[in-house]
Amino acid sequence: MTRTLHAVLPGDVDDPDSPSGGNRYDRRVLDGLSAAGWSVHEHPVPGDWPHPAPANRAALAGMLGALPSGSLVLLDGLVAGAVPEILAPNAGRLRLVVLVHLPLGGGAERAALRHATVVVATSTWTRRWLLDRYRLPADRVRVAVPGVDRAAAVPGSPAGGRLLCVAAVTPHKGHDTLVAALAAVGELDWRCDCLGPLGRDPGFVERLRRQIAALGLAQRVRLVGPRTGPALAAGYATADLLVLASRVETYGMVVTEALARGVPVLTTTAGGLPATLGRAPDGAAPGLLVPPDDPAALAGALRRWLTDPTLRNRLRRAARDRRETLTDWTTTTMSLAAALEGTE
């Protein structure tokens, strides 16, 4: 029997100029469900979610209202968490499933999730957060961890100075902390490419550019802009170390994308990042963890990486071994499908 799914997505889900972990996740699992025989009907909704204009709200309400009663509807949490008043009149006649990548926090999202038949979190950390903060019934909150595509292992350079950051340039990704830490190890040999959208917080990007210039790093820290597909893969292929200084992170898909290539990771203990980094089968750590918002700790870890060949070799071995334990997208799709089927 063919199962039918209506998927409500942010309007920029396939915009190459606005890549995000959430958009990549949505695209991969919906394509996976289609490949597995589901009939998937996508409904991208324009708007600056989770802050839609009245016209965007009206368009979403009209779209949901036009769906046949009993329809199974998967809503991206960026959309659903902002509009509990639109979900409420549809909760009784539609089977609403909300996919939460990053909790928005606040009463609107709490109310919206209470209208869902099932909530799917993309990490165990997010599930615990939702249960603790919103007091949702535990049996209604499932987990479908992001997958990753296996790639060829990256050999890395002897000196380890090719640093890579893959993240939208916004405050919660901690680029300002990263730049301050890089300045503290400025006498060492490194360069850092920052790949990610530059348009989500132009004010922050401008302050970051001024910070980079003031610290004399303009020739060593590049804000490259968004990269997807082969261009993103090329960035990973030339990297020695992924550095992610996030202040908030529920999972961190770029961490497993680096590990899938055997690239070690330096990141923070924020949210779900320690679990995403994980360990190799022998218990070895494939990277380093520091507290968020701590430039001195980040600089110390960078200094260790750049000056200790033994450490670099150990982390590279662990990262290559960690590759063998990573979840693939087929597993993710199966987990999501099981959650969707649980609404029947």
Number of separate helices (H) and strands (E) present in the chain: 14, 12
**Domain ranges in the chain?**
4-147+327-341, 162-325
Q: 129, 100 in Cβ contact below 8 A?
A: no
Fold of 4-147+327-341: Rossmann fold (3.40.50)
DSSP class of residue 343 equals T
Phi and psi, residue 221, nearest 5°: -115, 115
Domains 4-147+327-341 and 162-325 share a fold: yes
The CATH number fitting domain 162-325, selected from 3.30.1360.200, 3.30.930.10, 1.10.357.10, 3.40.50.2000: 3.40.50.2000
Q: pLDDT, tens digit, for every residue of 274-321?
A: 999 999 999 999 999 999 999 999 999 999 999 999 999 999 999 999
**3-state secondary structure labels for all residues of 82-142:** CCHHHHHHHCCCCEEEEEECCCCCCHHHHHHHHCCCEEEECCHHHHHHHHHHHCCCHHHEE
Phi and psi, residue 165, nearest 5°: -120, 125
Strands (E), the chain: 4-10, 39-45, 72-76, 95-100, 118-121, 141-143, 162-166, 191-195, 221-225, 241-244, 265-268, 287-290
326: CB partners within 8 A, 6+ apart:
147, 148, 150, 256, 259, 260
Positions in the chain short of pLDDT 70: 1
Cis peptide before 50, with omega less than 30 degrees from 0?
yes
For the range 225-231, what are the long-range contacts, defined as Cβ-Cβ under 8 Å and sequence gap of 24 or more? 225/195, 225/196, 225/197, 225/198, 226/16, 226/17, 226/18, 226/19, 226/195, 226/196, 226/197, 226/198, 227/19, 227/166, 227/195, 227/196, 228/16, 228/19, 229/16
Residue 156's pLDDT is: 94
What is the distance in angstroms between the CA of the first residue and the CA of the last residue of the chain? 13
Q: pLDDT, tens digit, for every residue of 186-202?
A: 999 999 999 999 999 99
Residue 1's pLDDT is: 67
Residue with tokens 């994308």: 257
How far apart, in whole angstroms, are the C-alpha atoms of residue 285 and residue 197?
Answer: 30
Q: Given CA atoms 299, 102, 131, 108 in this order, what sign does their dihedral have? A: positive
Residue with tokens 């769906």: 67
